[in-house]
A and B are shown apart, each in its own frame.
Chain A
Amino acid sequence: MKKFINIFLLHFQEVIQNKGRAFIYFLMILLNPLILILFWNGAISEDTNIASQWSKNEMITYYLLMTLAMSFLIVHIEEDVAFKDIKEGVLVKYLLRPFSYLISKFVEELPWRIAEGLFGVLVFFVVVLFFSISFSFVDSIGEILLTVLIVISALCISFIYKMILGLLANWTTDFWGVMSIQEVVFLIFGGMVMPLSMYPELLAKISYGLPFSYIAYFPVIAIQGNFTIYELLRIVLFQMFWIAALYKFYQFLWQKSLRIFTGVGQ
């Protein structure tokens, strides 16, 4: 445990050293939700049908929380795994160490998520206070605990999924293609465009059946306090299922990767 704490602290120093970079990454995440807030602001003012489903404040809170979720919960370890560890052969360094590759990558990534998440929290409160936006939050103790569990599970799903993506670099010559495809899929099925409940029925059903919605969408709606305790429990169960399934698949890919990895890349 101590060695992982040390790795975490070392990488935290790196994040503090590169706080400007972390902030720019955060700004990139912030841009799209801001434009969508403007879009819905106009749409809700003009169309009363939408206003009956989602109020302007709820929509603004949704996108602000989505920004927060995207900065804290969406892991970006796949580039590191694919380009540094596999393509450049840095994986050798990890293979020689007496601890898990998966956990050390998680500990390396965590400081970046915390830093960008803090920027998200800051922007959320600045916007909410500056524009006097009233919003609802999850309030009862039981629901808060389950929501915290949902957020932690979401981070785990996101991390294992991105590790799987990174490992795919063992079988691809140009990894940018995989990155592009996954980004599109994530944006559509993860609820980044708009709340999944407002999607056309078929698309919403597909989204609920995929792991992407459990990474950002469900945690955001849970934080907004829009789920009953039973619904929260159901989400936790589904998240556990996805963690188990993805972890099993990760282990399978990891074993296969070790057989074809040659130390100097592909």
Chain B
Amino acid sequence: MNKIGRYLSKIIAVNIKVLLQYRGTFYIGAVSSVLWMSLAVLSISILTYQAQEVGGWNRYELLAAQGVYSIILGLMYTFFSESIKNIGQLVRFGNLDLLITKPLDLQLLVSVRAIRFYQLVRVVMGIVLLVYSLTQLQISAEPGTILAFILFIAASMLIIYSMWFAMMTMSFRFVDLFNLWEFLLHLTGTTRYPLVIMRQLSESVLYILLPLVVVTSVPTQVIVNKFDLSLSVWAVCIAVTVFVLSRQFWKYALRFYTSASS
């Protein structure tokens, strides 16, 4: 545990140096995050300009869902996306050799390497949007609710992490997964709307998409006082299951790693 802590603190320190070295990238990334957030807010405002309510969710509840989505995605993009995206390259060029020899869990090493701090702008904007929406809804969150909210945010992050990680684990078999990675990011983007919108799908399709559709819905339901116990239990179960499955898949796939030179 101590080793993990030391590794994470070193990685954060290195990435802060990178951030200070390439400040332009930070500013452009920050502007881009602000713009995407504006697009999301504007889209929901335009959509709810005509439809005041969808499935019992009004404009501010949809905006709160958007805020939650930004917090989750912002955290994922900050800490994991760049590193997970690069797993393919590590495998293809044999650079995994070096990491395998390190006395630390390999999954951790490949998952947290490059941290993109400018994505934290997205998290901050998500929090601002969430607070604004809650104010408009006249909801003041209790400490217990905030704690549950954080727990479900963590569960949602675990779901997304496991799906991304499992996808990139396929790099041991396939040469280039860039397109599928892009597709997965787009698919994750569909989680910005609450589950109620997806309920119009047939049940079979809904169950296939279930890991994704609970990502934003459950934490939002908790914070806007629309708590659904069964769905929340589902969310935690799914998070644990997909994490265990993705880890097992990683361990299985690792057997096929032959390094670039062999």
Contact = CB atoms under 8 A, between A and B. Distances in A.
Interface of A: 20-21, 24-25, 27-28, 31-32, 35-36, 38-44, 46-47, 49-50, 53, 173-174, 176-177, 180-181, 184, 187-188, 193-194, 198-200, 203
B139 interface: no
Given A180-B35, A180-B36, A31 B197 contact: no
B43 A176 contact: no
Contact of B38 (A40, A47, A184): A184
A42 B197 contact: yes
Contacts, number: 98
B60 interface: no
Contacts of A32: 186, 189-190
Contacts of B51: 39-40, 43-44, 46-47, 50
B229 interface: no
A184 B193 CA distance: 18
Contacts of B233: none
A203 B46 contact: yes
17 contacts: A24-B183, A25-B179, A27-B183, A27-B186, A28-B183, A31-B189, A38-B193, A43-B50, A49-B50, A53-B50, A177-B32, A180-B32, A181-B31, A181-B35, A187-B39, A194-B47, A198-B46
B28 interface: yes
A39 B57 CA distance: 11
A199 B179 contact: no
Contacts of B24: 173-174
Nearest to A21: B179
A20 to B, nearest CB: 8
Contacts of A198: 46, 49-50
Contacts of B196: 42
Main secondary structure of the interface of A (DSSP, over half): helix
A31 B36 contact: no
A197 to B, nearest CB: 10
Interface string B166-193: 0000000000000110110011011001
A35 B190 contact: yes
9 nearest CB pairs, A to B: A43-B51, A177-B28, A180-B32, A24-B179, A184-B39, A28-B186, A42-B54, A184-B35, A193-B43
Contacts of B190: 31-32, 35
B42 A42 contact: no
B55 interface: yes
A173 B27 CA distance: 12
Centre residue among B36, B187, B197, B201 by max chain A CB count within 10 A: B197
Nearest to B22: A174
A200 B183 contact: no
B102 to A, nearest CB: 32
Interface string B10-22: 0000000000000
B46 A199 contact: yes
Contact of B49 (A36, A177, A199): A199
A36 B43 CA distance: 11
B141 interface: no
A24 B197 CA distance: 24
B173 to A, nearest CB: 15
A42 B57 CA distance: 11
Contacts of A176: 28, 32
A259 B4 CA distance: 53
